[in-house]
Chains A and B, each alone.
Chain A
Amino acid sequence: MEQVIEVQALRREYVRQTRLFRSGKKVVKAVDGISFSVARGEIFGLLGQNGAGKTTTIKMLTTLLAPSSGECRVLGYRSFGEEKKIRPRINFIFGGEMGVYRRLSARDNLHYFSNLYLLSRAEQAKRIDAILKLVDLADRADDLAETYSKGMIQRLQIARGLINNPEILFMDEPTVGLDPLGARMLRDIIRRLREEGRTVLLTTHYLAEAEELCDRMVIINRGKLVAGGTPAQIKGDCATLEDAYVRLIEEDKP
């Protein structure tokens, strides 16, 4: 099976200033030598505590951040150095209310991003209405995004993430703050993407959601990989994925 994401011994370090002057510097290992791969058409989960390194990993995969060392390939290309070949074919959604132009309408946001994704006018006309309908924003498409509820902004983020019909969609906690209907709609969209043969890499703190959606997953703790496999493999003899997750994190305590 074609591996569309390949991560080998990936590390990312940040240098943080701990004192007022330059002498006080501390190196923080956000991602510390993780390896995994994702096959085309899979829904893959990246689980872990806050600060475990999930978002940093996604940022490296989405060409936003340079790895300190290790291999990070998307669609066969290095995410740092060959990013131009990756960018038209992927997209990403970060959870929360950021990442949209609030002083523009949903339609204007999508028009703008479709220009940045170099879509032709004909493609734009075809895709924008369909996506607005898909995320249930068609009725409010021409209202300014600043008048939207939190859930609507998040749905607009999802719409933006789908604008270029990506082969791989990266989602960082996409259901944070969504109401139950919104969260269900997102899960349906993710399943639909899988049916279309697209790959989704997602992080979430909702373990039931991860279990329901993911074909495979890895659990990261303090930048290192502590478990990987199908939800059933990770669950092992535990009653729920949450029990297994808590045990793994507890066992990894320093």
Chain B
Amino acid sequence: MKLAVLYSTMVLQMKKSFVRPMFRFCLLANPILNTILLYEMFRTAGEESFLAYVVLGAGLMGLWSCICFSSAGDINRERYSGTLALIFATPASFPLIILGKIIGNTLLSLLSLLISLVTAVLLFRVPLSIGSPLLFLAALAGTVTCFVVISSVIACLLTLSRKTELYMNCLEIPIILLCGFVFPVSILPPAVQALSRALSPTYAIELLRMSLYGVTDLRLFWEKFGIMLAITALYAILSGLLYRRIDRRVRIAATLEVA
């Protein structure tokens, strides 16, 4: 039964997201435009691996935008369409429903990585070479997990407030900058880097980049992988605790619906 809830929510979410023009723009047009923009920026910057910064950067920016405007924004859409209260009051676990939505969105949003890659290959003849393909796949799986969990924390917090749109707009760019989507976090000021190191996507992106270049230090790769999983696990615990609290808070604060 739980699998049916998770699966049907994933499918519903994919259908609902894909029919929204804004989501389609984030998913399809954004990666193309970002790839062009980043390519032009990196072309004369001496960076040789366009895959590591242009394709990955543009793809991840698209992925994150989709997550911000869909996983998070969907709470608000459900609230305004009167379905948030309905799904909340069913016997199915609310966190499971939210998880289904997030997994559905994240899987669909992975398309932005592919679009970015196709754009770079077709428009700029960027060579498609992955130094450590298997480790790249492992890093990609880790990235998806980390994005799913971080989205879950955000979605949970946004259930508590009606100012969802404001918060999701505030989240998009800072995460892109802090986690080094398009530049290494090492160029950030040390105080800001400390913040970056507390965010699991920072490690996910570094792992993807390492595997694209080709991993020369396996120990370092798995060390970073471990840190990413540990931080992700912390987020998951936080998310679980928040969902327990949220179940009571939303009914006290009356934020399930629009007043």
Contacts and interface: CB of A to CB of B under 8 A. Distances in A.
A99 B89 contact: no
Contacts of B5: 115-116, 118
A130 interface: no
B3 to A, nearest CB: 10
Which of B12, B19, B89 lies at the interface centre, i.e. has the most chain A CB atoms within 10 A of its CB?
Answer: B89
Contacts of B257: 64
Contacts of A102: 81
Interface string A111-141: 1110111101000000000000000000000
Nearest to A98: B82
B91 interface: yes
Given A103-B16, A104-B12, A115 B92 contact: yes
Contact of B90 (A59, A66, A116): A116
Contact of B81 (A62, A63, A65, A98): A98
B89 A103 contact: no
Interface in A66-102: 66, 80, 83-84, 87-88, 92, 94, 96, 98-102
A159 B124 CA distance: 54
Given A94-B82, A115-B92, A116-B87, A103 B248 contact: no
A36 interface: no
Interface in B96-112: 97
A115 B6 CA distance: 9
Contact of A63 (B1, B16, B89): B89
B19 A64 contact: no
A112 B251 CA distance: 24
A206 interface: no
Interface residues of A, number: 32
Nearest to A63: B89
Contacts of B141: none
Contacts of B15: 103-104
Given A94-B82, A99-B82, A113-B90, A65 B251 contact: yes
Interface residues of B, number: 27
B237 interface: no
B88 interface: yes
B161 interface: no
Contacts of B256: 64-65
B129 interface: no
B86 interface: yes
Contacts of A116: 5, 8, 87, 90-92, 97
Contacts of B90: 87, 113, 116-117
Contact of B92 (A80, A101, A118): A118
A88 B92 CA distance: 9
Interface string B71-96: 00000000001110111111110000
B8 A115 contact: yes
Given A103-B15, A115-B5, A84 B92 contact: no
Contacts of A84: 91
A115 B82 CA distance: 18
B252 A117 contact: no
B4 interface: yes
B19 A103 contact: yes
A66 B248 CA distance: 8
Contacts of B1: 115, 118, 120
B16 A62 contact: no
Contacts of A96: 82
Contacts of A120: 1
Contacts of B89: 62-64, 83, 87, 92
A203 to B, nearest CB: 16
B254 interface: yes
Given A92-B89, A101-B12, A118-B92, A65 B254 contact: yes
5 contacts: A59-B85, A64-B88, A87-B91, A101-B12, A115-B92
Interface of A: 14, 59, 62-66, 80, 83-84, 87-88, 92, 94, 96, 98-104, 108, 111-113, 115-118, 120, 160
Given A98-B83, A116-B8, 15 more contacts: A62-B89, A64-B85, A64-B256, A65-B256, A80-B251, A84-B91, A96-B82, A98-B82, A102-B81, A104-B12, A112-B12, A113-B90, A115-B92, A116-B5, A117-B90
Interface of B: 1, 4-5, 8-9, 12, 15-16, 19, 81-83, 85-92, 97, 248, 251-252, 254, 256-257
List the 6 closest A-B pairs by CB distance, nearest first.
Answer: A98-B82, A116-B90, A99-B82, A88-B91, A66-B251, A115-B8
